Amino acid sequence: MTQPPLRAVIVPVTPLQQNCSIIWCTTTMKAAVIDPGGDLPRIRAAIAQAGVTVEKILLTHGHIDHAGEAKPLADELGVPIEGPHEEDRFWLARLDEDGRTYGIRGVVFEPDRWLVEGDTVTIGDLILDVYETPGHTRGHVIFHHPPSKLALVGDVLFQGSVGRSDFPGGDHDQLVRSVVEKLWPLGDDTAFIPGHGHASTFAHERASNGFVGDAVLAGQ
CB atoms within 10 A of CB 123: 23
What would the mean pLDDT of 78-105 be, rounded to a whole number? Answer: 97
Q: Is the pLDDT of residue 2 over 90?
A: no
First to last CA, the chain: 46
Could you tell me which residues come within 8 angstroms of residue 166 by beta carbon, excluding any fewer than 6 positions away?
none
- When pLDDT is cut at 50, 70 and 90, the band that residue 3 belongs to is confident
Reported as a single tens digit per residue, the pLDDT across 164-216 is 999 999 999 999 999 999 999 999 999 999 999 999 999 999 999 999 999 99
| pLDDT at residue 49 is higher than 70 | yes
pLDDT tens for each residue of 15-44: 999 999 999 999 999 999 999 999 999 999
Looking at residue 187, its amino acid is: G
Q: What percent of the chain stands above pLDDT 70?
A: 99
- pLDDT, position 219: 86
CA separation for the pair 59, 49 (Å, rounded): 22
Question: Per-residue pLDDT for 155 more than 80?
Answer: yes
pTM: 0.97
- Does the pLDDT value for residue 67 go beyond 80? yes
Q: What is the pLDDT of residue 1?
A: 67
Tell me: the pLDDT tens digits for 101-126?
999 999 999 999 999 999 999 999 99
Return d(Cα 190, Cα 171) in angstroms, integer: 25
